[in-house]
């Protein structure tokens, strides 16, 4: 059975694997330019004047256009009445040609849009002075962490199971997309010393209120779970 | 090879026991860890007492519990509601309860409720019996507060919901939330609970033995006086009878003293209060809170996404279809575009993912204010 073509999610994406002649960035630039205006002729100055000069033949560009389905018909470029040029997508800021765990990135964006760590961070930050009051002489890095550092490290722990990372040592042995997800890659050497101080400031007790939603029903289900 | 006693200092018992609480929407609310050596009913009482304080919920629904009566009493004394299933060994049909018919459902299932047939002292449990036309009778119980909050006819449904929500949630968290992973190897030194239990039992036995000695000591005095009296008066047969009685009582007194001595020796053998090591659950609790936060976030994401889908998609399916796929990302000044690689997908999976992608586009996702568009990367790699 043929795949339905009318689905909005089916708009084709480019094959951005770097080739021998055209790098993945060049491909992305080309793709963006052609998506903006699929009728644009390959010989046009716009392609030649891309920020990074593409030094391949016209034939190569045409081959890529055909592969992406962004080739135009034969003949002189003309615009039919009512056919408008594609909406410009703006300047290209960043291209990640190979991204693992795409869904986690999309979910993370949704999560950040809906508060993200907003329930967790105040509790963690409050736990630090609460610990400091009875232990004025104690000094360890977590007590001096910026909010951003604490947030990123907790987020690394938070998303780890979705990235197939169960133990902290797996941060070193598994390829993970934390760099693209959080803007920084983490290893167990960073996160293990983060979990220890969290234990010292009793983050477990401090974080429990973050689980409770604003409105709780009058029924709570309680069950035991044994971990071998 | 002998590895020492389980309670030996420095050796910790494998495993952990977590008590996890969910609300009616399936969101994780609370978690507490306990050593595996601790009796389950004891820490369920501890945890359930913390749950109303932490969450504001007034009724706890638990599974079939050990020591249900003790739990019910504790909850009732504190004015809290508790609903649970009755142990299979306890009910003996409808005759055990003074049950009245509450309703007869369309399928012929009859629902009864009422207290015990023979009143039990200090048993606050009210019982609901669901008797289907065919199959096993379902008996659940609740404290008076539970009965006041949830209508008895709804108890079986509440119990089914608990099972569905919690057991499915545990499965999901084990699959993609690292719930079963152990974190932290730190130990904390505490009292040797096994020794404490042995000592408590011995102390009780020793106290009883002392009472017996005192009692027998008193009982011996009268026959002794009577024997002296008979001897002084020159009784013949009566003296013999009194001497026999005295011998029996003296033997009982000696036995009691001997038993007391043995118990005292056992108490001495137990020695001074010992210590044992238990796992420190702080790191484990932090990571389980993390897991619950993640699960709550995923459930909310799913609920939002399902609102835009025509067909139902499970979270496991979504994780495979969307979360674990590779692809590409492009960010421009005005938008962010994600492509999902669909290579190797069958046509039905491709269709389903296309529907999910349509749902994601309809969710109005944004990254730093820029709209996010999700597309399928249909070209072969």
Q: What is the pLDDT at residue B187? A: 82
B17-187 folds as: Transposase Inhibitor Protein From Tn5; Chain A, domain 1 (3.90.350)
User: What's the gap in Å between the CA of A152 and the closest CA on chain B?
Assistant: 14
Ordered by start, the domain boundaries in chain A are 13-98, 102-211
Q: What is the pLDDT at residue A46? A: 56
Q: What is the pLDDT at residue B13? A: 64
Q: What is the pLDDT at residue A9? A: 41
Q: What is the pLDDT at residue B115? A: 85
Length of chain B, please? 381
Q: Taking CB atoms and an 8 Å cutoff, what residues of chain B touch A109? A: 336, 365-367, 372
Taken in order A183, A187, A189, A194, the sign of the CA dihedral is positive
Q: What is the pLDDT at residue A91? A: 65
3-state secondary structure of B114: strand
CATH 1.10.287 domain residues, chain B: 195-273
Q: What is the pLDDT at residue A24? A: 66
Q: Taking CB atoms and an 8 Å cutoff, what residues of chain A touch B17? A: 224-227
Instruction: Please give the Cα distance from A47 to A39 (Å, whole number).
Output: 13
User: What's the gap in Å between the CA of A95 and the closest CA on chain B?
Assistant: 4
Q: What is the pLDDT at residue B366? A: 93
Q: What is the pLDDT at residue B125? A: 87
Q: Taking CB atoms and an 8 Å cutoff, what residues of chain B touch A161? A: 176-178, 291, 294
Query: CA triplet A135, A139, A142: central angle to 5 degrees?
Result: 105
ipTM summary value: 0.78
On the CB side of B79, CA atoms within 13 Å amount to 1
Q: pLDDT (tens digit, 9 = 90+) per residue, B150-196?
A: 888 888 889 889 988 999 999 999 999 999 998 888 888 888 888 88
Taken in order A18, A20, A23, A26, the sign of the CA dihedral is negative
Specify the range with the lowest mean pLDDT, choosing from A83-97, A155-169, A190-204, B264-278: A83-97
> Which one is predicted more confidently, A188 or A43?
A188
Q: Kindly compute the dihedral angle of the four CA atoms of residues B115, B117, B119, B124, in this order, to the nearest 10 degrees.
A: -20
Is residue A47 scored above 80 in pLDDT?
Answer: no
Q: What is the pLDDT at residue B222? A: 92
Instruction: Please give the Cα distance from B84 to B138 (Å, whole number).
Output: 11
**8-state DSSP, B339:** E
Q: Taking CB atoms and an 8 Å cutoff, what residues of chain B touch A34? A: none
**What is the chain B residue with the closest CA to A17?**
B381
Residues (pLDDT < 70) of chain B are 1-14, 64-66, 90-93, 378-381
> Which one is predicted more confidently, A191 or A90?
A191
B195-273 belongs to which CATH class? Answer: mainly alpha
Instruction: Please give the Cα distance from B37 to A217 (Å, whole number).
Output: 33
Q: What is the pLDDT at residue A5? A: 39
Specify the range with the lowest mean pLDDT, choosing from A46-55, A112-121, B325-334: A46-55
Residue % of chain A over a pLDDT of 70 = 74
Q: Which residues pair with B191 in a beta bridge?
A: B275
Q: What is the pLDDT at residue A135? A: 93
**8-state DSSP, B234:** T
Is residue A14 scored above 90 in pLDDT?
Answer: no
Q: Is there a contact between B173 and B295 (Cβ–Cβ < 8 Å)?
A: yes
3-state secondary structure of B34: strand
Name the residue among B38, B45, B79 with its Cα closest to residue B62: B45
Q: What is the pLDDT at residue B275? A: 84
Q: What is the pLDDT at residue B66? A: 66
Of B281, B323, B363, which is closest to A162 when you measure between CB atoms? Answer: B323
Q: What is the pLDDT at residue B378? A: 64
Q: Is there a contact between B173 and A223 (Cβ–Cβ < 8 Å)?
A: no
pLDDT-based confidence at residue A25 (cuts at 50, 70, 90): low
Instruction: Please give the Cα distance from B260 to B237 (Å, whole number).
Output: 35
User: What's the gap in Å between the CA of B47 and the closest CA on chain A?
Assistant: 9
Taking an 8 Å cut-off on Cβ atoms, the answer to whether B25 and A157 are in contact is no
E-only strand ranges, chain B: 16-23, 28-34, 59-61, 81-85, 100-104, 110-114, 126-131, 138-142, 187-191, 275-279, 327-332, 336-341, 366-367, 370-377
Taking an 8 Å cut-off on Cβ atoms, the answer to whether B340 and A102 are in contact is yes
Of chain A, the end-to-end C-alpha distance in Å amounts to 48
Query: CA triplet A18, A22, A28: central angle to 5 degrees?
Result: 70
Specify the range with the lowest mean pLDDT, choosing from A11-15, A40-44, A49-53, B149-153: A11-15
Q: What is the pLDDT at residue B381? A: 34
> Which one is predicted more confidently, A53 or A154?
A154
pTM, rounded to two decimals:
0.77
Q: What is the pLDDT at residue A8? A: 39
């Amino acid at each position: 059975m043929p795949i339905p073509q009318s689905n909005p999610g089916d708009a084709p994406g480019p094959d951005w694997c770097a080739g021998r002649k055209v790098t993945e960035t060049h491909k992305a630039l080309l793709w963006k330019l052609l998506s903006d205006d699929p009728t644009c002729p390959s010989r046009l100055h716009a392609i030649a004047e891309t920020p990074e000069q593409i030094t391949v033949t016209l034939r190569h560009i045409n081959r890529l256009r055909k592969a992406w389905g962004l080739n135009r018909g034969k003949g002189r470029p003309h615009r039919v009445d009512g056919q408008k040029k594609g909406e410009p997508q703006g300047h290209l800021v960043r291209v990640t040609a190979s991204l693992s765990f795409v869904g986690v990135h999309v979910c993370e964006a949704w999560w950040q849009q809906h508060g993200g760590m907003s329930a967790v961070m105040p509790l963690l930050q409050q736990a630090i002075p609460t610990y400091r009051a009875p232990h004025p002489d104690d000094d360890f890095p977590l007590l001096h962490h910026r909010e951003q550092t604490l947030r990123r490290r907790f987020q690394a722990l938070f998303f780890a199971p979705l990235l197939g990372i169960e133990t902290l040592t797996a941060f070193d042995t598994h390829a993970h997309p934390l760099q693209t997800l959080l803007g920084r890659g983490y290893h167990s050497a960073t996160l293990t010393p983060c979990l220890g101080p969290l234990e010292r400031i009793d983050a477990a007790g401090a974080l429990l209120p973050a689980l409770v939603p604003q409105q709780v029903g009058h029924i709570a289900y309680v069950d035991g779970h044994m971990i071998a | 090879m002998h590895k020492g006693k389980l309670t030996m200092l420095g050796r910790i018992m494998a495993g952990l026991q977590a008590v996890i609480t969910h609300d009616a929407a399936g969101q994780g609310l609370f978690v507490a860890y306990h050593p595996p050596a601790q009796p389950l009913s004891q820490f369920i009482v501890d945890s359930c007492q913390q749950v109303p304080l932490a969450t504001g919920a007034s009724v706890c629904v638990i599974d079939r519990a050990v020591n249900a009566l003790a739990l019910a009493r504790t909850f009732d004394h504190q004015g809290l509601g508790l609903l649970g299933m009755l142990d299979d060994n306890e009910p003996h049909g409808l005759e055990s309860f003074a049950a009245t018919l509450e309703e007869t459902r369309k399928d012929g299932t009859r629902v009864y409720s009422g207290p015990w047939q023979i009143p039990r002292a200090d048993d606050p449990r009210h019982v609901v019996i669901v008797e289907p036309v065919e199959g096993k009778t379902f008996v659940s119980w609740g404290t008076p507060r539970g009965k006041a909050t949830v209508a008895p006819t709804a108890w079986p449904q509440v119990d089914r919901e608990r099972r569905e929500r919690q057991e499915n949630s545990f499965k999901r968290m084990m699959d993609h939330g690292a719930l079963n992973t152990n974190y932290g190897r730190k130990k904390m030194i505490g009292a040797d609970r096994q020794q404490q239990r042995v000592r408590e039992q011995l102390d009780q036995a020793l106290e009883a033995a002392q009472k017996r000695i005192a009692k027998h000591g008193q009982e011996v005095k009268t026959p002794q006086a009577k024997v002296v009296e008979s001897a002084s008066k020159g009784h013949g047969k009566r003296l013999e009878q009194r001497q026999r009685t005295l011998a029996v009582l003296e033997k009982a007194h000696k036995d009691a003293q001997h038993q007391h001595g043995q118990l005292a020796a056992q108490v001495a053998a137990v020695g001074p209060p010992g210590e044992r090591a238990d796992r420190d659950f702080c790191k484990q609790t932090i990571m389980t809170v993390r897991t619950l936060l993640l699960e709550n976030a995923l459930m909310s994401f799913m609920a939002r996404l399902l609102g835009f889908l025509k067909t139902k998609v499970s979270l496991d399916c979504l994780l495979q279809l969307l979360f674990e796929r590779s692809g590409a990302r492009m960010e421009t000044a005005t938008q962010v575009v994600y492509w999902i690689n669909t290579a190797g997908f069958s046509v039905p999976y491709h269709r389903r993912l296309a529907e999910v992608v349509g749902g994601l586009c309809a969710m109005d996702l944004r990254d730093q204010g820029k709209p996010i568009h999700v597309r399928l990367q249909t070209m072969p790699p």
